[in-house]
Structure 1
Amino acid sequence: MKLNVVGILRDAWAMAKRDSELLLGIAGVFLFIPDLAGAIYVAPAPAPPAVVDQTSADLWLKQLGVWGQQYELLVIVLSLLSLFGVLALFVVYIDRARPTVSGALGQAGALLPHYLLLALAVSVPVSIGSILVFPGLYLKGRLLPVSPVFVGERPIGVFAAWRRSFALTRGNGLVLMGLAFVPLLGGRLIALPFELLGTALDGAPMANPVVAAVLDAGIAGGHTLGTVAAVLIEIALYRRLSSGI
């Protein structure tokens, strides 16, 4: 089946316009705020040494351990909040009963442990494949419908959702690889000016809390918009693939 990519993007945009208040509510609380809190309260993890030897590697691991002791729990909590928000959006759109926001949040809470396993089963191989760029993007494209499948065709296991996603996307791997890149690029482009401005100021934002907050909010906003766009594209894609349109 030949995919109508323009139609998928048009469907996603129509959902964004129609449900802007709903999207702002869920994404604002569970995506934007955790991302902003991470930027404000979590220091960057120590970068690996440019030249690797025993001494530098030991020092880096020690610094990484200290960083983990200070921020690991907060990072986990913020990540779970973001994952919960993404899952709630899928429930709102994919569940045939069209639950209310409060109902979707309740269902998302019940589904979260299994969805966490699914997220790990997707992100780990995609991250490994991304080392070589093409394999990671290709795998990401083939797994675009996996979250809607998990929500819309439950009860379904993690690996059954993988197989179903691959079956739905058969013959469209390269097209979906490009489609997967669209929200990533869009969110990145929105956040990039704020990141560049922070770099250009060379640490000056840290001396001015207002400037720092504005820059962090801009970056978090870009990330949030990219995530919401990805969710809506995945939903629109799943609806077309599952209905044979």
Structure 2
Amino acid sequence: MKLDVAGVLRDAWAMAKRDVEVLVGVAGLFLFVPDLAQAMYVALPPDLPDFGDEAAADLWLKQIGIWSQHYELLVIVLGLLSLFGTLALFLLYADRARPTVAGALARGGALLPHYLLLALIVTVPVSIGAVLVFPGLYLKGRLMPVAPVFVAERPIGVFAAWHRSFALTRGNGLVLMGLAFVPLLGGRLIALPFALLGKALDGAPMANPVMAALLDAGMAGGHTIGTVAAVLIEIALYRRLSNGI
């Protein structure tokens, strides 16, 4: 079956326009705020040392240990909040029970451990494949419907959801590589000017808390838009593929 990519994007855009208030509320609280908090309160981890420099490697291990002591728990909590927010969005659109926002948040709490496992079995192989670029993008494209499958076709195991996603996307792998890249690129392009401005100021924002907060908010906003776009595109894709459109 030939996939109508333009139709998928139209469907996603229609959902965004129709539900803008709900999306702003859920994504603002559970995606934007954790991203902004991480930018403001979590220092960047130390850079990897040069390969083969044993002394630098030892120093890096000590530095990363200190960094972990200070920030690891906060990073985990913020990451779980973001994951919960993403799951809530999938529940709002893909759950067959058609929950309200409050209902989606309640169901999300119960499903979060299983969704965390699903996220891991998607993220880890995609990240490994991304080292070679093409395999990572291809795998990401084939797994685009996996979260909607997990929510809409419950009870279904995480590995069964993986298999179902591959079955749905059979014959459209190359097209979905490009589609998977759209929200990622869009979100990063929105955040990019704020990141570049921060680098251009060469640390000056730290002397001006208002400027620093504005730059961090701009980057967090770009990341949030990218995540919401990815969720809506994946929902629209799943609906078309599962209905044979």
What is the TM-score with the length of structure 2 in the denominator? Answer: 0.99
The worse-fitting range, judged by mean Cα deviation, of 154-163 and 217-226 is 154-163
Matched residue SS, 2:147:
helix
- Percent sequence identity is 80
Q: Whole-Å Cα distance in 2 between the matches of residues 211 and 220 of structure 1?
A: 14
Matched with 2:201 is 201
Does 2:143 correspond to 1:143? Answer: yes
CA RMSD, aligned part only? Answer: 0.6
Matched residue SS, 1:48:
coil
Please give the residue correspondences for 1:6-85 in structure 2 after superposition, counting only pairs within 5 Å: 6-85=6-85
Q: Whole-Å Cα distance in 2 between the matches of residues 234 and 142 of structure 1?
A: 11
Q: Whole-Å Cα distance in 2 between the matches of residues 228 and 235 of structure 1?
A: 11
Please give the residue correspondences for 1:1-245 in structure 2 after superposition, counting only pairs within 5 Å: 1-245=1-245
Count of residues paired in the alignment:
245
Q: Which amino acid aligns with 1:169?
A: T
Q: CA deviation at 1:54?
A: 1.2
Q: CA deviation at 1:51?
A: 4.7
Query: Which of structure 1's runs of 4+ aligned residues deviate more than 4 A?
Result: none
Matched residue SS, 2:44:
coil
The worse-fitting range, judged by mean Cα deviation, of 89-98 and 230-239 is 89-98
Which deviations, in whole Å up to 9, do the C-alpha atoms of 1:162-219 show, x marking residues without a partner? Answer: 0000000000000000000000000000000000000000000000000000000000
Q: Whole-Å Cα distance in 2 between the matches of residues 174 and 51 of structure 1?
A: 35
Q: CA deviation at 1:40?
A: 0.3
Q: Is the 8 A contact 2:88 2:108 kept in 1?
A: yes
Q: CA deviation at 1:97?
A: 1.9
The change in CA–CA distance for 1:207 and 1:52 in structure 2 (over 3 A counts) is farther
Q: Which amino acid aligns with 2:65?
A: G
What is the TM-score with the length of structure 1 in the denominator? Answer: 0.99
Q: Is the 8 A contact 2:50 2:56 kept in 1?
A: no
Q: CA deviation at 1:128?
A: 0.3
Matched residue SS, 1:155:
coil
Q: Whole-Å Cα distance in 2 between the matches of residues 205 and 70 of structure 1?
A: 23
Matched residue SS, 1:66:
helix
Q: Whole-Å Cα distance in 2 between the matches of residues 14 and 52 of structure 1?
A: 53
Q: Which amino acid aligns with 1:197?
A: L
Matched residue SS, 1:132:
coil
Q: Which amino acid aligns with 1:44?
A: L
Q: CA deviation at 1:50?
A: 3.0
